[in-house]
Amino acid sequence: MNILGLSAYYHDSAACLVKEGRIAAAAQEERWTRVKHEQHFPSQAISYCLREEGLTVQDLDLVAFYDLPFLKFERLLETYLAFAPRGLRSFLQAMPLWIKEKLWLPEKIKKELGYAGPLLFTEHHQSHAASAFYPSPFNRAAILTIDGVGEWATTSWGVGWDQTIDLMAELRFPHSLGLLYSAFTYFTGFKVNSGEYKVMGLAPYGVPRYRDLILTHLLDLKEDGSFKLNLDYFNYCQGLTMTNQKFADLFGGPPRPPESPLTQREMDLAASVQKVTEEVVLRLATHVHRETGEKHLVLAGGVALNCVANGLLLRDGPFADLWIQPAAGDAGGALGAALFAWHQYLGKPRPTLTDRLDRQEGSYLGPAFPEDQIQAFLQQQGIPARELSWEALPQEVARLIAEEKVVGWFQGRMEFGPRALGNRSILGDARSPKMQSLMNLKIKFRESFRPFAPSVVAERSGDYFLLDRPSPYMLLVGEVQPEICSESKPGDQDLFGLEKLKTVRSAIPAVTHVDHSARVQTVHRETNPLYYQLLKAFEALTGCGVIVNTSFNVRGEPIVCTPEQAYACFRRTEMDYLVLGPFLLEKDNQPPWQETGDWRKEIQAD
């Protein structure tokens, strides 16, 4: 049986194919359209999923969509009526798309696909819950999903066992932890539904001096983690912005204009909302543990991408272990809808785990490009490259990284989710004090404060990080081991804000954040043998088992999908080398690069 899962029409539209219970393929539409967080119908992602398994639309037995459009429409209408006439402008903007497309979704799906079979619509948080539980390694687990909003739910919890999911309670719109975080994302000058991770990265530069103000004026937080927002300070129910003048008055002035210089206020606001988020998540999880008695917890929803809160939950929370869906946002809803249809709707058992970490296969679920296809592209474009054996390739690339060269690394199947996990990555030397600023400013063209993640072979993770379990999806933050941290120098304690970037904090400074933390990716031989070999080669050469891994893209651009996209990104940046399969390209040997226009203007800054 072949089930196609879809998410679309809000942000991060995606498609997923589940074949006889196995996650066969999954990808976000943005990787083809090159529009970050693409919301339109995922036509190209669907085509890829079918092509991956040699199927046509006629081979599909069921199509599952990740939320209930009519219930979401009900919420929009009730909200607009509750705030009328203040929400008229927002109402007039939203309604044409609903009346033209979203209310006719069953017909639109069938028309777009040329499909005449059955359709299944799941609740938004059911999709999140399914994406969290079914691929996890646990036979039983508590489930916690937290995001901005689905239909009505903003947070839900329940239990999963065998092939069954039971969601037992929820918090409802407009009271949303995700929307609270997005309000601060907007107020600190970043893009909502895109820049929340920047707020998380900015937080360690600040002091949570506004925490009590948030808990006193914005959030009525209960012991069990439930809460209500004071809507007097927000504008998202009825307006076109997240916050209002009363919010600005509370925090000492208007929102930061996008792209303007960051001040200590923004850093302190980021630190404060991050601290409150961690407190809410910890209380929620403690309550869920108390109510369910389960040993394990699975997480999904956009807030589950907050890897700092995840790390705190792992260290200080009541659960023995947790598992987070790598595509925790709306893209993962496509996967969840398909798995929900297979397991809950059709009652099919989950596949047995053998020696795998989980049932998501490292999240390498996107398209791969064979050697002959890559070679044909290089020859057609007259691109000089050196072909290496698969045995020699990791050794040579390890040598280049050790020489502080920045290397684009394009291998195998593209990752599903927002993180590059060693197949569509840009790599650098974690030992280099200059690597973070070099990669931020000359490769990624992004803000200097943004941290980079380390990749480390799983069995050596504990030598570098205070993290006692696998983190294959880069969704857990752990402290850098104290013995490899650098001693503070005179005056370090007096540094504030972005001045903290000047200090070398450990033996792996390029991946050590200013609070001595790191967003760790453990690399496993079973799921990515080539990347594992590269790390082992680097370790043999240098004695260091850690390299920098950042996504293969520039700021505002989706991660690359094809060799053509990888080559364009390589030429537009100051990357030194590019690896496409077994082919090694050196920047200095490339022919002149020509653009038809200003590519930076075509990519909207996030």
* pLDDT tens figures, 379-393: 999 999 999 999 999
List the CATH number of the domain containing 348: 3.30.420.40
Q: State whether 191 and 223 are in the same domain.
A: yes
Q: State whether 296 and 435 are in the same domain.
A: no
Q: State whether 420 and 568 are in the same domain.
A: yes
Q: In the listed set 341, 361, 381, which residue is the last one of a domain according to the structure? A: 361
Residue 592: asked if its preceding bond is cis (omega within 30°), the reply is: no
- Rounded Cα distance between 161 and 174, Å, is 30
- Rounded Cα distance between 532 and 204, Å, is 31
Q: State whether 550 and 433 are in the same domain.
A: yes
What does the block give as tokens for 215?
Answer: 């808990």
pLDDT of residue 491: 56
Q: State whether 402 and 532 are in the same domain.
A: yes
Q: State whether 395 and 445 are in the same domain.
A: yes
- Rounded Cα distance between 97 and 588, Å, is 49
Q: State whether 484 and 552 are in the same domain.
A: yes
What does the block give as tokens for 253?
Answer: 């002035």
* pTM (2 d.p.): 0.95
Does residue 204 contact residue 300 with C-beta atoms inside 8 Å?
Answer: no
List the one residue out of 561, 110, 28 whose CA is nearest residue 334: 28
Chain centroid, CA 561 distance in Å: 16
Residues marked as catalytic: 11
List the CATH number of the domain containing 594: 3.90.870.20
Q: Is 157 within a domain?
A: no
Q: Is 146 within a domain?
A: no
Write out residues in the chain with pLDDT < 50, as ranges: none
Q: Which residue range(s) make up the domain with 425?
A: 371-602
Q: 253: which residues sit within 8 A by CB, 6+ positions away?
A: 265
Q: State whether 442 and 544 are in the same domain.
A: yes
SS3 content of the chain, % helix, strand, coil (to 5): 40, 20, 40
What does the block give as tokens for 570?
Answer: 């390589």
- Rounded Cα distance between 133 and 304, Å, is 13
DSSP string, 401-419: HHTT--EEEE-SSPBSSSS
| Vertex 364: Cα angle to 362 and 365 (nearest 5) | 125
pLDDT of residue 599: 77
Question: Measuring CA to CA, how many Å separate 448 from each of 29, 288, 399, 555?
Answer: 29, 38, 27, 12
Q: Is 136 within a domain?
A: no
- Domain total in the chain: 3
- Rounded Cα distance between 23 and 14, Å, is 14
Q: Is 514 within a domain?
A: yes
Q: State whether 439 and 390 are in the same domain.
A: yes
Phi/psi of residue 128, nearest 5 degrees: -60, -45
Please state whether 562 falls in left (phi above 0), alpha (psi between -120 and 50) or beta: beta
Q: Is 150 within a domain?
A: no
Q: What is the CA radius of gyration of the chain?
A: 23
pLDDT of residue 447: 83
Give me the torsion for CA of 180, 181, 186, 191, rounded to 10°: -130
Give me the torsion for CA of 263, 548, 469, 524, rounded to 10°: 150
Q: In the listed set 263, 294, 321, which residue is the last one of a domain according to the structure? A: 321
Q: State whether 530 and 429 are in the same domain.
A: yes
pLDDT of residue 594: 85
Read off the amino acid at residue 82: A
Q: State whether 348 and 404 are in the same domain.
A: no
- Rounded Cα distance between 441 and 574, Å, is 10
Q: State whether 463 and 503 are in the same domain.
A: yes
Q: Is 45 within a domain?
A: yes
Classified as helix, coil or strand, 322 is: strand
- Rounded Cα distance between 431 and 352, Å, is 40
Read off the amino acid at residue 401: I
Query: Strand (E) positions, 377-503?
Result: 386-387, 407-410, 424-429, 453-457, 476-479
Give burial (CB, 10 Å; 0-12/13-18/19+) of 169: middle
Q: Is 165 within a domain?
A: no
